[in-house]
């Protein structure tokens, strides 16, 4: 297994004391927001079970989500909704969410460890790390926060629009989801700029909103 503390140790050797990990969840789905998290983890206690969120079961992720929130020096989670995704495109919307999460921290970090490629217009100095959620403890913690928060939003949308099965597939392009899209057309939380959704909308099937919710 990779050393999850290698980048934290490198950063502190180079004089960066306060580090925040930054990651996002939800670039690929056909529905729902893209969510980014920024978190400043303390040097101790260390949560030794923290890993890339994709390597953890849902119950373990949920428990670690609460433990990270309990021990973190600071954190911020931002959801960018489907209107912005369709207006900007998904890459720009994800970048916006990450910038807003960093800017939303009450404590200004010395360095952001960012998953993936460099973040344009990052509000603090950054170190971009490809596959950072598997290589950095701070980014892995952020990946858990973003994933669990977004999954919770999709479960709320499942209660509003139960015919789509959002609680099961979280908006991803599964056979179940595509079948529901074909039967009911898009609902207000679908991304109209994504091809399968756009094709259904052009076919004239669009489910109107059954209620409104404010995204946190």
Give me the tens of pLDDT residue by residue for the chain, a chain 216 residues long: 578 999 999 999 999 999 999 999 999 999 999 999 999 999 999 999 999 999 999 999 999 999 999 999 999 999 999 999 999 999 999 999 999 999 999 999 999 999 999 999 999 999 999 999 999 999 999 999 999 999 999 999 999 999 999 999 999 999 999 999 999 999 999 999 999 999 887 876 555 443 333 332
The yes/no answer on whether domain 6-156 falls in CATH 3.30.420.10 is yes
Q: What's the angle, vertex CA 19, arms to CA 138 and CA 60, rounded to 5?
A: 20
pLDDT at 2: 72
**Token pair listed for 150:** 């977004």
Nearest to 93 by CA among 43, 36, 152: 36
pLDDT at 210: 39
Report residue 150: phi and psi, to 5°.
-65, -40
Give the count of beta carbons closer than 10 Å to the beta carbon of residue 64: 21
Q: 43: which DSSP letter?
A: S
**Domain assignments of the chain as residue spans, ordered by start:** 6-156, 162-202
pLDDT at 1: 53
pLDDT at 200: 87
Identify whether the C-beta of residue 22 lies closer than 8 Å to the C-beta of residue 119. yes
């Amino acid at each position: 297994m990779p050393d999850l503390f290698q980048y934290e140790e490198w950063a502190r050797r180079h004089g960066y004391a306060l580090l925040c990990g930054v990651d996002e969840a939800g670039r690929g789905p056909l529905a729902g927001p893209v969510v980014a998290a920024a978190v400043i983890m303390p040097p101790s206690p260390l949560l030794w079970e923290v890993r890339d969120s994709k390597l953890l079961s849902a119950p373990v992720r949920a428990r670690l989500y609460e433990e990270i929130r309990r021990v973190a020096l600071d954190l911020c989670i931002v959801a960018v909704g489907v209107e912005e995704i369709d207006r900007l495109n998904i890459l720009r919307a994800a970048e916006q969410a990450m910038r807003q999460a960093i800017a939303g921290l009450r404590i200004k970090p010395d360095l952001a460890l960012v998953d993936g490629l460099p973040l344009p217009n990052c509000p603090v100095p950054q170190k971009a790390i490809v596959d950072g959620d598997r290589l950095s403890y701070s980014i892995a913690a952020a990946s858990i926060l973003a994933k669990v928060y977004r999954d919770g939003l999709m479960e709320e949308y499942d209660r509003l629009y139960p015919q789509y099965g959002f609680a099961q597939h979280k908006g991803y392009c599964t056979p179940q989801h595509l079948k529901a899209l074909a039967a009911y057309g898009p609902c207000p939380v679908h991304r109209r700029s994504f091809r399968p959704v756009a094709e259904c909308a052009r076919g004239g099937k669009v489910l109107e909103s059954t209620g409104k919710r404010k995204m946190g």
